[in-house]
Chains A and B, each alone.
Chain A
Amino acid sequence: QKEVEQNSGPLSVPEGAIASLNCTYSDRGSQSFFWYRQYSGKSPELIMFIYSNGDKEDGRFTAQLNKASQYVSLLIRDSQPSDSATYLCAVETSGGYNKLIFGAGTRLAVHP
């Protein structure tokens, strides 16, 4: 059974701090990795994707990938209360058809 694991949280950080969200996956054949943000009552919104080992930065967000350790992380710098949401890690399966397996999500709370 292919799995994606995330700490459910809540992860509570003060405004302006760095939030670090982590994800591990079991399918060694996975090549593409995604982070989605989901506000309460809304649909998931893609915020980052990464497919090479190392870091990928986009504004305040940095995705980090370590395929040898089967580990993906998302760093949010200068966290804002508007970043408070559930963050879903998704991993493309090696079975094709662009299928993704999602973790259950980490709830992030940024307090002023």
Chain B
Amino acid sequence: DAGITQSPRHKVTETGTPVTLRCHQTENHRYMYWYRQDPGHGLRLIHYSYGVKDTDKGEVSDGYSVSRSKTEDFLLTLESATSSQTSVYFCAISRGGEGSYNEQFFGPGTRLTVL
């Protein structure tokens, strides 16, 4: 398995509270991604990073922010959680560069419930 961990693995929180999810990699990969997965929608990209302090929005970025201060850590923050953000969140990494086919490898996921 690729060296990717996510924390917490499960979280229940209340509407309006801030939540931060952490993704940690030991592969020194350049690219990191946050997805959410909901029934009927598949995986949708929230934000991604192409280097330390280099991030950009994905297709469903409203209500989310990210930070990457070190190569190995990519944080996803829900500024004020809403019930529509109840989902399973996956982090993924990709090496990029010479010899890479741009494949992504996924962490174990975080199940977030917003009451």
Contact = CB atoms under 8 A, between A and B. Distances in A.
Interface of A: 8, 32, 34, 36, 42-46, 49, 51, 88, 90, 92, 97-105
A42 B44 CA distance: 16
B109 A102 contact: no
A1 B58 CA distance: 13
Nearest to A89: B42
Given A44-B90, A97-B50, A34 B40 contact: no
Given A104-B40, A104-B42, A46 B31 contact: no
Contacts of A8: 40
A34 B103 contact: yes
A3 B5 CA distance: 29
Contacts of A32: 101-103
Interface of B: 31, 33, 35, 40-45, 48, 50, 56, 58, 90, 94, 96, 100-109
A91 to B, nearest CB: 11
Given A97-B31, A97-B48, A98-B96, A46 B104 contact: yes
30 contacts: A8-B40, A32-B102, A32-B103, A34-B104, A42-B109, A43-B107, A43-B108, A44-B43, A44-B90, A44-B106, A46-B103, A46-B104, A46-B105, A51-B101, A88-B42, A90-B43, A90-B104, A92-B102, A97-B31, A97-B48, A97-B50, A97-B56, A98-B31, A98-B102, A99-B48, A99-B58, A102-B42, A102-B44, A104-B40, A104-B42
A102 B102 contact: no
A71 to B, nearest CB: 18
Given A43-B107, A49-B103, A98 B90 contact: no
Contacts of B40: 8, 104
